Each structure stands twice: as structure tokens, then as C-alpha cells.
């Protein structure tokens, strides 16, 4: 009986030791090896940049609320329903824009580089077409297809894609006068001149500033940049002299700096909206300035309505979102795997922030009046579509970076996993001749 008890105890001890100590010269089981070495599949959503999607989503939500607030009365009078414009027009525009964002986010952004020159030529063609066949509204020709498509907005998108493709090429001599300065001036000059002919000074200014930022960050010669800046000022003054409405805006702006009561009508009504709103606002949908006092409350003046209905705090939250967009955009540019992707993110981020700054500055009487909408918030079709496509390309840049990083980490994980076949030695050759403690035994 005692011998049997002793044998049972010894067998239990052996089984326990066998569980704790791996059997030498025993290869890993197929299940463990398969689980460790098979690629980790990641769905599309997992590779997209969540912070950027969240920021843009919040801007779209705020834009939806403000567009309904500023159009329900107009929609009721023109279509017999307070929700017609919001549902039939705005939600349709947002849906198409989201589809465009998803498509361009999924497709590798490097695929579109080969089409940059064709996109530029197409854009120039549409800018010429709008001068010949465009809709004449308030003395300007800026749109085609009954106002649904504005080539000037496409030109703002195109300049980013083309400049990213050109400046990001290995053979581009950015700091060269002949191969850098001259081509840059020709491309920006052609687009700017065609847009000024509409006339649309604000879009021309946005294109010039966006392209200038990309040119500078790509490594342009500072003397060349100074020359471009001087030429732009000279051309701007010459153009303003030939456009009566631009001269009037500058005169009113200068007068408003000395006496706010002498500012133009648009600026005065925007200031009144902010004063009525105070810190917390009069409440969503309760604005009075949108009923005829402020021109275009659903587009150019929408930030003033935000200030009236949501107050200084609501307007400050919108500004914070744009600051967050800028930070995240430049972070994605830093993570990009090539110059084309980095310049795409820099260009689209700069484009959005320049538009936002101009719109907010106009509503707060810091710069003369312009017709720049507030990105993602103002009502618009083609404007929102090209903005969301730009965000889709930024998401694609980050997605490619995430996939490459994940692939690199997986290779390292596979290479370093399970160093013990039987003798506990590494499968891959080491870069050092030093022996491990296990080998020393």
C-alpha cells in the first residue's frame, strides 16, 4: 500500500514537472505556429484615422444644424416645407461627399498621382468654359450646370494635387529659378488669371496662398518666394483698380478700421449678430439676423449666425475644431511614406485652414469682405464634395502609413518569435557574434 502511494505521488510529480518544463527537441505545435505567424487581417475602418474622422464629423454635424436653422424659413416660403432644402439638397450633398470621401480613402492615394496633369488640363478647360458659357449671376460668371458646379472650387482642389505631384517628384528642382520658380509661376498664374476674369478674387487668393505654402515647405528658394510675394501684391493692386466692387470693399474696410459704424453693411450686421449672441447665444434657431439682415446666412455669413445662436463659446468651439484639424493634418503629413503624400496633406490642410481663417476674419471685421465659405459648415454642393475628397486622400495617406507600419511590426514579430526549436537558437542569423546565456550552457 505504501509502495503504491509512493508510485502515485511520483507519477503526479512527473506530470507536474512535464507541464512546467517544455520537452527539449520538441518543435512547436502546428496550432501555435500558425496562430503566431499568420498575417493579422485589419478591416478598412481599423486603418482609417479616427481623430481626423471625428473632427470632420463634428464640423459636419454643426454645419447641418446651422444650415437647417438658416434655411427653414426660406425653404418654407419657396418649397412649402421647412425641411425641403435641408433634406433634398443638403443631405444629398453630404451623402455624395461622404461617398467620395470613402472611395478616395480606400484607394491608394499614389494611384492618382499619374492623373495630376490631366486634372490640371481639365480644370483649365472648365475655367475657360465658365467664361464662355457660365451662368451670369450678379455680374459674375462662376458656375456651370445651373449653379451646381463652380470650376473655381475645383481649381482650389486641383492646385493641391498638381503641386503635390510636381513638387514631390524626385526630378523636380524646387530651388531652381528656371525649373522651379518659372513653372510654379506659370501654373498658378494661369489658374489665377482665369479665376480673376470671372471675377472671383477670393478663390484666386486661396489658390495663391495654398500653392505658396506648399512651394515653401517643399524647399523653395526664399528669394524666389519674396519675388512671388511682390508680384502677387502688384498684380492684386492692379486688379483691384480695375474692379469697382473691390475698390468699394477696400474703402469700406479702411473706414471701418477707424469707425465701426462706417464699415460696410455686411460687416455691421455680422458685428450685431455677435453682440446679440453674447457668451452663450440666443439659442439654436432663434437668430434674428438671418431673416433678411445678414446676406447669405447659410453660406458666407454662417459663422456670424453661429455666434448669435451659440454665442462666443459656440464660435470658439468651431475655431478649436479647425485648430485640431490643422494639427492632425500636419501630423499625418509627418507620418506619410513619400513626399507626394506629405505634400497632399500639407496642401489640403492649408487649403481648409486658409478658407476658415478668411471666412472668420471677414465676419469679425479683420479683413475686407470676401466670398469664401466656411469649410464643412457652409451650404454647398461642389465645395463640400471637393473638400471631402481632399479629406479622403488624407485618410488614404494615413491608411497606407498604418498598413506599412503594421506589416513591418508583423515581420519583426515573426522573426523574433520562438527562438527555441530544440537547442533554443534563433532561426535567423544574428548581427553579433556574442553568445546568448542559453548557448553558453
Write down the pLDDT at residue 52: 94
Ordered by start, the domain boundaries in the chain are: 46-106+261-401, 112-242
Residue 150 in 3-state DSSP?
A: coil
Sequential DSSP letters for 272-338: HHHHHHTTT-S-TT--STTTTTSSSTTTTTHHHHHHHHHHHHHHHHHHHHHHHHHHHHHHHHHH-SS
Write down the pLDDT at residue 24: 53
Instruction: Give the residue from 397, 331, 383, 311 showing the smallest Cα distance to 352.
Output: 383
Name the DSSP class of 142.
E
Q: Which residues pair with 137 in a beta bridge?
A: 140
The structure's pTM equals: 0.80
- Report how far residue 329's alpha carbon sits from residue 244's, in angstroms, rounded to the nearest whole number: 38
Write down the pLDDT at residue 98: 95
- Report how far residue 165's alpha carbon sits from residue 341's, in angstroms, rounded to the nearest whole number: 9
Pairing of strands 135-137, 140-143: antiparallel
Q: What is the pLDDT along the chain (441 residues), one digit of tens a residue?
A: 555 665 666 677 776 666 655 545 555 544 444 444 444 555 777 778 899 999 999 999 999 999 999 888 888 888 888 888 888 889 999 999 999 999 999 999 999 999 999 999 999 999 998 888 877 665 667 777 766 778 888 999 999 999 999 998 877 788 888 888 899 999 999 999 899 888 888 888 899 999 999 999 988 888 888 888 888 888 888 877 766 667 777 776 776 676 666 677 777 888 888 888 889 889 888 888 888 778 888 888 899 999 999 999 999 999 999 999 999 999 999 989 889 999 999 999 999 999 999 999 888 878 777 778 899 999 888 889 999 999 999 999 999 888 877 665 555 544 444 443 344 344 433 334 444 433 443
Write down the pLDDT at residue 54: 95
Amino acid at each position: 500500500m505504501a509502495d503504491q502511494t509512493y508510485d502515485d505521488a511520483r507519477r503526479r510529480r512527473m506530470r507536474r514537472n512535464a507541464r512546467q518544463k517544455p520537452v527539449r527537441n520538441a518543435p512547436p505545435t502546428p496550432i501555435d505556429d500558425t496562430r503566431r505567424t499568420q498575417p493579422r487581417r485589419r478591416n478598412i475602418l481599423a486603418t482609417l484615422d479616427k481623430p481626423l474622422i471625428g473632427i470632420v464629423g463634428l464640423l459636419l454635424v454643426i454645419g447641418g444644424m446651422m444650415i437647417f436653422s438658416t434655411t427653414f424659413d426660406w425653404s418654407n416660403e419657396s418649397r412649402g416645407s421647412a425641411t425641403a432644402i435641408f433634406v433634398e439638397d443638403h443631405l444629398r450633398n453630404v451623402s455624395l461627399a461622404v461617398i467620395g470621401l470613402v472611395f478616395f480613402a480606400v484607394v491608394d492615394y499614389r494611384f492618382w498621382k499619374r492623373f495630376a496633369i490631366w486634372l490640371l488640363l481639365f480644370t483649365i478647360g472648365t475655367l475657360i468654359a465658365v467664361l464662355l458659357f457660365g451662368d451670369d449671376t450678379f455680374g459674375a460668371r462662376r458656375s456651370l450646370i445651373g449653379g451646381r458646379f463652380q470650376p473655381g472650387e475645383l481649381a482650389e482642389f486641383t492646385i493641391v494635387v498638381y503641386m503635390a505631384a510636381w513638387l514631390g517628384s524626385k526630378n523636380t528642382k524646387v530651388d531652381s529659378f528656371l525649373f522651379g520658380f518659372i513653372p510654379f509661376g506659370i501654373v498658378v498664374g494661369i489658374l489665377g488669371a482665369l479665376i480673376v476674369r470671372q471675377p472671383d478674387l477670393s478663390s484666386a487668393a486661396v489658390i495663391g496662398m495654398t500653392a505658396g505654402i506648399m512651394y515653401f515647405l517643399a524647399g523653395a528658394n526664399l528669394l524666389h518666394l519674396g519675388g512671388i510675394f511682390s508680384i502677387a501684391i502688384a498684380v492684386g493692386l492692379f486688379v483691384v483698380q480695375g474692379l469697382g466692387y473691390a475698390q468699394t470693399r477696400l474703402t469700406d474696410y479702411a473706414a471701418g478700421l477707424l469707425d465701426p459704424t462706417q464699415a460696410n453693411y455686411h460687416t455691421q450686421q455680422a458685428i450685431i449678430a455677435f453682440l446679440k449672441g453674447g457668451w452663450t447665444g440666443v439659442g439654436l434657431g432663434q437668430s434674428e439676423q438671418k431673416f433678411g439682415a445678414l446676406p447669405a446666412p447659410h453660406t458666407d455669413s454662417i459663422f456670424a449666425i453661429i455666434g448669435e445662436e451659440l454665442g462666443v463659446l459656440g464660435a470658439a468651439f468651431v475655431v478649436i475644431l479647425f485648430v485640431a484639424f490643422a494639427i492632425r493634418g500636419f501630423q499625418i503629413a509627418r507620418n506619410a511614406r513619400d513626399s507626394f503624400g506629405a505634400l497632399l496633406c500639407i496642401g489640403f490642410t492649408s487649403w481648409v485652414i486658409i478658407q476658415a481663417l478668411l471666412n472668420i476674419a471677414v465676419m469679425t471685421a479683420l479683413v475686407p469682405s470676401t466670398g469664401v465659405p466656411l469649410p464643412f459648415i457652409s451650404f454647398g454642393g461642389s465645395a463640400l464634395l471637393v473638400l471631402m475628397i481632399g479629406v479622403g486622400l488624407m485618410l488614404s495617406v494615413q491608411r497606407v502609413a498604418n498598413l506599412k507600419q503594421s506589416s513591418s511590426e508583423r515581420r519583426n514579430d515573426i522573426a523574433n518569435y520562438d527562438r527555441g526549436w530544440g537547442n533554443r537558437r534563433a532561426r535567423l542569423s544574428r548581427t553579433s557574434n556574442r553568445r546568448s546565456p542559453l548557448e553558453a550552457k
